[in-house]
Amino acid sequence: MASFIVYCYARFCKKAGTMKHGTIGFYPEERLGRLSFRRAPRPTERLIQAFLFFCAAVSILTTAGIIVVLGTESAGFFKEVSILEFFTGKEWQPSIGKFGIAPLFVATLTTSLTAMAVALPLGLAVAIYLAEYARPRVRETLKPVLEVLAGVPTVAYGYFALTVVTPFLRGLLGQENVEVYNTLSAGLVMGVLILPLISSMCEDALSSVPGSLREAAYAMGATKLETSVKIIVPAAFSGIAAAFILGLSRAVGETMIVALAAGAGPRLTLNPLRSAETMTGHIVRISGGDLSYDSMDYRSLFAIALVLFVSTLFLNILSRNIVKKYREVYE
Amino acid sequence: MTGTFNQNLSVRHVRGSRWQAAFALATILAVAFLATLVLTIVDDAFGWVIMMDETDRRELTRDGVTLDAQNTAQLLATIDEHLSPRRYRALERELPFADRGRDDLYALVLAEIVNPEIAETYNLFESLVSAQAIKAQAAEEYPEGLLVFRSWVNARFLLAPQSAVPLAAGIKTAILGTLMTILITLAFAFPIGIGAAIWLEEYARDSWLTRAIQVNIYNLAGVPSIIYGMLGLAVFVRGLEPITSGAIFGASAAGDTANGRTILSAGLTLAVLILPVIIINAQEALKAVPGSLRQSSLAVGATKWQTIRYHVLPASFDRILTGTVLAISRAIGETAPLVVIGASTFLTQDPTSIFSKFTTLPIQIYQWTSRPQAEFRHLAAAAIVVLLALMLSLNSFAIVARNKMRKQKRF
């Protein structure tokens, strides 16, 4: 209020011609010309804002970088190998010029689906338990435990697959049936890795179902199980589907577990007890060795990476759209 | 009527409690899986080992004094007696024997003359449960062997460089590599990440550009880490080679130049990788600051940046810090992108600058795990224990710091 009066006084003085700027004023600062009620130009503010915008634009640059890098190198690759051959070829042997992505893709699919076969039922059961049955204290203890363990580096999971799960499988199914490197072991361990992600996403979906649905079900005489499985789970279905898809995308992009446990050397097989190399596993193995730029080996990695990027991006966007849709239903 | 209504009730209740048990079991199973993972690693990091000496150390007893207790003169005599003349001259050239200390000589005798090799290893569980059986087996199969309980995580392991000999191998180079890489990552990702979050939360108006950036950040967070490795390989290692190899800064042209496959490249790649995570976490933190705080600051005449700098950032800094630490601990555990951009597989030389070749803890673990010998498996387990300890201490540091900052908050 006071400043408003001062402001009016200053304007009045100026208008009346009784005050020349910088000579007379209400405040001493004003008289010295150090106080102005005009909006001062602030170049630093502008500069800071520009810098902050640059920071935000870095993310766009990153995406552009990924697309340009994968695009140009793959373009070089597809000049030599036809796209048709790349997607339909059944053999991946760069040494003899055979670049069919099928063996790598099938192996990725095998490990990812094995992982989801473990992670989805278990993760959903954990989520139902935590959201519907567990007492708050149990929930508050278990959730951080699962989260912490989800933070274990994937290379440790790879170690676990190779030194514990594979010997266990070989003991269970017979040494001669299970190879030292096999996609089953990698897939199972990957399932354990993804489990916390699935359970926390499903739990969010289940607990965002309005309580009125539960109460209505109980009022109709449904038991707790019936309410959970027949009412709450279908109501949260889109959230669960989103969790499944995001988990699948994570599994497709997962690298260290398959690099350590699934085996080296592409092979077209649907048998999870044999070794096979996934897309990510192949990239890591080849780029880990001596790789000369501008060779077909080098470019082929970018073509694989492009397939990987596009498929995970597709899955991620699909998952997010499903989440968005179900939010609209309940809010 | 009541009869029909209640007809199935007991069955339904039984089914209900069965399924409840199943759900509880699944939860226990999930926790058990993850617990097994941690236990296996600890299990492999400690345990009995049977060591076979090339020269039995009992034979090296001199004047009735065992090898561990001998003084400089006695050790020198042992070296004179057992070392081949050629090796002797080579070591003498490295550093004259007269100038070496007692501990150095002792280590030399162990490495050059006793030269212990591991014949058999056991993990912790076996060591604890069937100690008698192990002792019996050791006495029977390796009568000259020495049965010792070995912690694979030990001071020597932490301070020694990589080596092809399992007993001598250590992770000093890898730890230094990890720390330097993470510092670079932090130096780039932290300011840019927070800057981006501030722009998106405080400055950006709801326009197509803002929405595009926001969607883009969410998409980047879901891109597999190996793709970032490919980006790093093409951009930082190859494209910016003059910068990342240090050539334009006149960095050493001596044997350790790594043509772009340097700590700087690794740090930048990881920075790009964790940037979306940092931005999203920082945005959440800024969203949690009440709007009234901003309005009151603006009302007393602060500019927008002053408001952010002196009120919004201090009020949200605890959350920003926690989010950043989570992102950093993810970066510490990343392996795949670093393999892709060309981490050194066998590096014995400590990194001297950000233009040195690099290896990190996860890379070292990867290398050791992919070898078939049991000794390397134990080394890998020990390195995982160190890695987990590093991540855990980082996280607990963040929690303590956050709690301390929360107490200082005035609202």
Q: Encode pLDDT of A99-117 as tens digits.
A: 888 999 999 999 999 999 9
Which residues in chain A are closer than 8 Å to B20, comparing Cβ atoms? 129, 133, 224-225
Tell me how many degrees the CA angle A45-A48-A53 measures, rounded to the nearest 5: 125
Distance (Å) of CA A316 to CA A66, A158, B210, B388: 16, 24, 20, 29
Nearest to B16 among A54, A155, A225 (CB): A225
**Which residues numbered 188-247 in A keep a CB inside 8 Å of some CB on B?**
192, 195-196, 199, 221, 223-226, 229, 246
The more confidently predicted of residues B24 and B163 is B24
The more confidently predicted of residues A142 and B244 is A142
User: Whole-angstrom Cα distance, residue B161 to residue B350?
Assistant: 8
Question: Would you say A239 and A326 are in contact if contact means Cβ atoms under 8 Å apart?
Answer: yes
Nearest to B26 among A125, A287, A309 (CB): A125
Reported as a pLDDT band with limits 50, 70 and 90, residue B139 is confident
Residue in B with minimal Cα distance to A293: B238
* Nearest CA distance, A208 vs chain B (angstrom): 19
Ranges of each domain in chain A: 2-31, 43-80, 92-330
Distance (Å) of CA A179 to CA A103, A166, B124: 17, 9, 27
User: Cβ–Cβ contacts within 10 Å for residue B402, how many?
Assistant: 17
Least confident segment among A217-231, B67-81, B150-164, B220-234 = B67-81
Statement: residue B308 has pLDDT above 50: yes
User: Whole-angstrom Cα distance, residue A121 to residue A194?
Assistant: 12
Mean pLDDT of the A144-165 span:
87
Reported as a pLDDT band with limits 50, 70 and 90, residue B62 is confident
Architecture of domain B172-408: Orthogonal Bundle (1.10)
**Which residues numbered 145-184 in B keep a CB inside 8 Å of some CB on A?**
none
User: Whole-angstrom Cα distance, residue A34 to residue B28?
Assistant: 71
pLDDT of residue A329: 59
Contact B226 A63 (CB under 8 A): no
Contact A302 B230 (CB under 8 A): yes
Q: How large is the angle between the packed helices A183-207 and A166-173, nearest 10 degrees?
A: 110
Distance (Å) of CA B72 to CA B87, B105, B109, B373: 19, 7, 11, 36
Mean pLDDT in chain B?
A: 84
Reported as a pLDDT band with limits 50, 70 and 90, residue A90 is confident
pLDDT of residue A9: 52
DSSP B186-213: HHHHHHHHHHHHHIIIII--SSHHHHHH
Contact B224 A309 (CB under 8 A): yes
Contact B212 A60 (CB under 8 A): yes
User: Whole-angstrom Cα distance, residue A268 to residue A107?
Assistant: 7
Which residues in chain A are closer than 8 Å to B13, comparing Cβ atoms? 223
Please choose, from the candidates A237, A215, A230, the residue with its C-alpha nearest in 3D space to the C-alpha of residue A330.
A237
Nearest to A260 among B24, B275, B369 (CB): B369
The more confidently predicted of residues A75 and B52 is A75
User: Cβ–Cβ contacts within 10 Å for residue B341, how many?
Assistant: 29
Statement: residue A313 has pLDDT above 50: yes
Residue A116 touches chain B, beta carbons under 8 Å: no
Mean pLDDT of the B389-400 span:
86
**Which residues numbered 258-287 in A keep a CB inside 8 Å of some CB on B?**
259-260, 280, 283-284, 287
Structure tokens at A182: 């096999």
Nearest to A129 among B27, B362, B369 (CB): B27
- What ipTM did this prediction achieve? 0.84
Contact B204 A246 (CB under 8 A): no
CATH ID of A92-330, from 1.10.3720.10, 3.90.1570.10, 3.40.640.10, 3.40.50.2000:
1.10.3720.10
The more confidently predicted of residues B8 and B265 is B265
Statement: residue A14 has pLDDT above 60: no
Tell me where in chain B the CATH 1.10.3720.10 domain(s) lie. 172-408
Which residues in chain A are closer than 8 Å to B26, comparing Cβ atoms? 121-122, 125-126, 129
Least confident segment among A3-7, A259-263, B44-48 = A3-7
Q: Among A138-147, A229-238, B125-134, which range has the highest average pLDDT?
A: A229-238
